[in-house]
């Protein structure tokens, strides 16, 4: 194998008395596509900064092949000191770089280059920073959360752009689809060390789970061996002195080995506190429209949100996803049309900007309030320290202020606050921001088990596929369309992903051409796999429920059942009520699908 472009080895770094990196390493060869993964706080970003030469480790060996250029994308780019975004991007070009690429990449990312950096949003900051690191086409690109604050069109454009580069890539990202599509190998930062795996991220998680299982088995064997040796010390018959001394030394060595082994960090213990069941129809919008100046955000949209729905709202930045979210939840009135929201909703919102967190609060105050030691989680009280541990916070962090927390820790704190409140309606606006992959897994499982209704705004394609039952997609010019299934199902039905809003604005001439329709043609609606399967299985399920109901009614008709066995009577009555509710729901679902099938056929 050819010599690497870059090699970082034996990295040691201690923060606040605790070792963060202990012998970590990172090697980058030509045409490398590396995913750098690990839990929040494991040291991924720190390792990337050391690789970029921006942070000095306590000790490390860093070797860069002569002539190799490296560019680094930070999580929080600093554009201060530049008059325009174009000036910022051009400042990153070298003597032999192509000057035109600065303006070209800004244009591709939907920017003019004349923007004032002081007035940029988080997404615009990220786009300008991406243009700056991509413009020189360096030998190595170090990217720390490149998809943060980007909308779906920008994420998919970035994927295509990175695929076409000759640069070697090292990527930190919580976006599973992005990592799976781009990486060919993975470096796992775990308990201070790194493990390089010659597998892309798509295969990495299965490998990691197997590794952790084997590690736990080995640890269990070590614990049993220590117990056997300790039993020998207590109860064994004394033998020759030299033999005993050696065996005692072996025991001390085993104990030290166990002490030195850092166990894998635990998982978040995430449960949601559910309120009373909401009305069957949660939100009903009829021909609603919303306009801001000349910008038509929503035009004549009708949509019903039923209890138990998991709806994803997708579209480019500025399409009006948050506006639609606010109208459907009753917090914003439409300009025209009708919106009716159920009365008994107990709504919990996870805010994408973390604006509900006071930077001066301590972690304890954010969870339990001022001078309180307990968190009210539904109907029970939990000690704040125990509840903190559920979300991977240590007792030492109780007095840490919010402004000192990392982005991932703030995300976990927002989840901890939101999930403690009783709810039957979850509104999640960019919930995946800054969360590590393991926490995302548990959030997905929680949503799957949640009995209430969920509205999700997200640019994370994998998260949408795993959590949603339907997608409401911006089609441009205020038009929105509903697609059954997750994001991938929507793409299959539309025949494409989400178009960039910026690109749509760049073709006024085509819009005025008589032969061009005023709105984009809608793709023909098709039944999804889930809908076809439901149509095939629902009749049998309804027959079974009808048979169960008949048996339960016969049992209820038993003479004197209430007097002779009141418990059996109560259980039978409850089971009968549940069976009837299930049958009614199944019949309604079958009817809706039959109507849909007829429409599709027509």
pLDDT digits (tens, 9 = 90+) for 107-122: 999 899 999 999 998 8
Lowest mean pLDDT among 183-192, 319-328, 444-453: 444-453
Q: How far apart are CA 346 and CA 451, in angstroms?
A: 13
The verdict on 431 and 491 lying in the same domain is: yes
Domain end: 501, 525, 549, which one? Answer: 525
Tokens of 419: 């999930």
Q: Which residue has the tokens 């997905």?
A: 444
The upper half-sphere exposure of residue 521, i.e. CA atoms within 13 Å in the direction of its Cβ, equals: 6
Residue 345 φ/ψ, nearest 5 degrees: -80, 135
The verdict on 477 and 538 lying in the same domain is: no
CB burial class (10 A; 0-12, 13-18, 19+) of residue 432?
buried
Write the CB contacts of 427 (distance below 8 Å, at least 6 apart in sequence).
Answer: 325, 329, 347, 348, 349, 350, 454, 455
The verdict on 129 and 19 lying in the same domain is: yes
- In terms of average pLDDT, the best of 172-186, 344-358, 440-454, 495-509 is 172-186
The verdict on 117 and 14 lying in the same domain is: yes
The H or E element that residue 400 is part of is none
The verdict on 497 and 538 lying in the same domain is: no
Portion of the chain with pLDDT greater than 70, in percent: 84
**Greatest CA separation for the chain:** 103
The verdict on 81 and 195 lying in the same domain is: yes
The verdict on 181 and 197 lying in the same domain is: yes
Average pLDDT over residues 427-434: 83
Residue 440 in domain: yes
The verdict on 325 and 445 lying in the same domain is: yes
pLDDT value of position 236: 56
- In terms of average pLDDT, the best of 24-38, 367-381, 551-565 is 24-38
The verdict on 337 and 483 lying in the same domain is: yes
Lowest mean pLDDT among 392-396, 427-431, 585-589: 585-589
Portion of the chain with pLDDT greater than 90, in percent: 40
Q: How far apart are CA 550 and CA 196, in angstroms?
A: 61
Domain that holds residue 62: 6-205
Residue 213 in domain: no
Cα→Cα distances 566→384, 442, 551, 556, 571, Å: 42, 41, 18, 11, 9
| 74 alpha-carbon distance from chain centroid | 20
CATH (domain of 573): 1.10.287
pLDDT value of position 565: 81
Q: How far apart are CA 401 and CA 360, in angstroms?
A: 6
pLDDT value of position 502: 43
Q: How far apart are CA 502 and CA 192, in angstroms?
A: 43
CB burial class (10 A; 0-12, 13-18, 19+) of residue 496?
exposed
Q: How far apart are CA 69 and CA 353, in angstroms?
A: 35
Write the CB contacts of 581 (distance below 8 Å, at least 6 apart in sequence).
Answer: none
- Pairing assessment for the beta strands 168-172 and 347-350 based on DSSP bridges: unpaired
593 vs 185, more confident: 185
> Domain total for the chain?
3
227 vs 304, more confident: 304
- In terms of average pLDDT, the best of 275-284, 312-321, 498-507, 532-541 is 312-321
Confidence of residue 216 (pLDDT cuts 50, 70, 90): confident
Q: How far apart are CA 353 and CA 336, in angstroms?
A: 29
- Pairing assessment for the beta strands 380-383 and 374-377 based on DSSP bridges: antiparallel
Tokens of 565: 């066995």
The length of the chain, given as a count of residues: 602
pLDDT value of position 575: 86
For residue 285, list its beta bridge partners. 303, 339
The verdict on 177 and 41 lying in the same domain is: yes
Residue 414 in domain: no
455 vs 496, more confident: 455
- Pairing assessment for the beta strands 33-37 and 185-190 based on DSSP bridges: parallel
pLDDT value of position 72: 97
Confidence of residue 252 (pLDDT cuts 50, 70, 90): low
The answer to whether 207 and 197 are in contact (CB under 8 A) is yes
Residue 231 in domain: no
Q: How far apart are CA 520 and CA 1, in angstroms?
A: 52
pLDDT value of position 255: 56
Domain end: 488, 504, 525, which one? Answer: 525
The upper half-sphere exposure of residue 485, i.e. CA atoms within 13 Å in the direction of its Cβ, equals: 19
The verdict on 573 and 492 lying in the same domain is: no
CB burial class (10 A; 0-12, 13-18, 19+) of residue 339?
middle
CB burial class (10 A; 0-12, 13-18, 19+) of residue 298?
buried
Average pLDDT over residues 15-37: 91
Statement: residue 480 has pLDDT above 80: yes
The verdict on 179 and 283 lying in the same domain is: no
pLDDT value of position 478: 92
Helix 529-556 × helix 566-601 angle, to 10°:
150
Domain end: 467, 497, 525, which one? Answer: 525
Lowest mean pLDDT among 216-230, 322-336, 476-490: 216-230
Residue 536 φ/ψ, nearest 5 degrees: -75, -35
């Amino acid at each position: 194998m050819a010599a690497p472009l870059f090699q970082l080895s034996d990295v040691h770094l201690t923060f606040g008395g605790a070792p963060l990196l202990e012998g970590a390493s990172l090697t980058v060869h030509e045409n490398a596509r590396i995913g750098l993964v690990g839990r929040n706080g494991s040291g991924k970003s720190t390792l990337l900064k050391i690789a970029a030469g921006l942070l000095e480790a306590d000790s490390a060996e860093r070797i860069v092949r002569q002539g190799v250029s490296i560019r680094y994308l930070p999580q929080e780019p600093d554009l201060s000191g530049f008059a325009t975004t174009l000036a910022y991007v051009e400042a990153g070009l070298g003597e032999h770089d192509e000057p035109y690429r600065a303006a070209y990449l800004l244009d591709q990312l939907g920017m003019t280059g004349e923007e004032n950096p002081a007035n940029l949003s988080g997404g615009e900051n990220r786009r300008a920073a991406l243009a700056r690191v991509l413009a020189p086409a360096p030998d190595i690109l170090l990217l720390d959360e490149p998809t943060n604050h980007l909308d779906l069109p920008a994420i998919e454009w970035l994927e295509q752009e990175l695929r076409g580069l000759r640069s070697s890539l090292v990527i930190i990202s919580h976006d599973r689809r992005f990592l799976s599509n781009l990486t060919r190998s993975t470096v796992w930062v775990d308990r201070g060390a790194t493990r390089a795996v010659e597998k892309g991220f798509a295969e990495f998680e299965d490998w990691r789970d197997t590794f952790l299982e084997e590690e736990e088995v080995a640890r269990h064997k070590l614990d049993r061996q220590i117990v056997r040796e300790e039993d020998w010390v207590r109860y064994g018959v004394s033998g020759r002195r030299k033999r005993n001394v050696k065996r005692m030394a072996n025991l001390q060595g085993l104990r030290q080995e166990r002490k030195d082994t850092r166990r894998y960090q635990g998982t978040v213990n995430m449960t949601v506190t559910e309120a009373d069941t909401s009305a069957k129809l949660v939100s009903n919008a009829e021909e609603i429209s919303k306009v801001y100046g000349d910008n038509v955000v929503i035009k004549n949209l009708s949509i019903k949100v039923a209890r138990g729905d998991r709806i994803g709202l997708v579209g480019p930045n500025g399409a009006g996803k948050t506006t639609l979210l606010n109208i459907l939840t009753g917090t914003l009135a439409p300009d025209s049309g009708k919106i009716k929201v159920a009365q008994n909703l107990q709504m919990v919102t996870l805010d994408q900007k973390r604006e509900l967190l006071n930077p001066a609060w301590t972690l304890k105050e954010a969870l339990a309030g001022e001078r309180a030691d307990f968190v009210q989680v539904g109907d029970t009280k939990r000690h704040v320290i125990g509840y903190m541990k559920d979300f991977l916070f240590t007792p030492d962090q109780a007095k840490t202020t919010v402004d000192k927390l990392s982005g991932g820790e703030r995300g976990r704190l927002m989840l901890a606050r939101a999930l403690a409140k009783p709810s039957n309606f979850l509104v999640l606006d960019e919930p995946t921001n800054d969360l590590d992959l393991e926490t995302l897994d548990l959030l997905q499982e929680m949503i799957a088990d949640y009995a209430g209704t969920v509205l999700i705004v997200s640019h994370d394609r994998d998260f949408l596929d795993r959590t949603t039952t339907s997608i409401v997609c911006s089609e441009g010019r205020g038009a929105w369309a509903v697609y059954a299934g997750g994001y991938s199902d929507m793409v299959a039905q539309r025949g494409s992903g989400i178009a960039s809003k910026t690109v749509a604005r760049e073709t006024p001439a085509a819009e005025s051409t008589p032969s061009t329709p005023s709105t984009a043609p809608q793709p023909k609606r098709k039944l999804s796999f889930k809908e076809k399967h439901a149509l095939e299985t629902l009749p049998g399920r309804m027959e079974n429920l009808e048979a169960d109901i008949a048996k339960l009614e016969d049992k209820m008709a038993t003479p004197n059942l209430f007097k002779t066995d009141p418990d059996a009577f109560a259980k039978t009555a409850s089971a009968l009520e549940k069976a009837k509710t299930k049958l009614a729901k199944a019949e309604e679902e079958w009817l809706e699908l039959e109507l849909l099938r007829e429409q599709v056929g027509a």
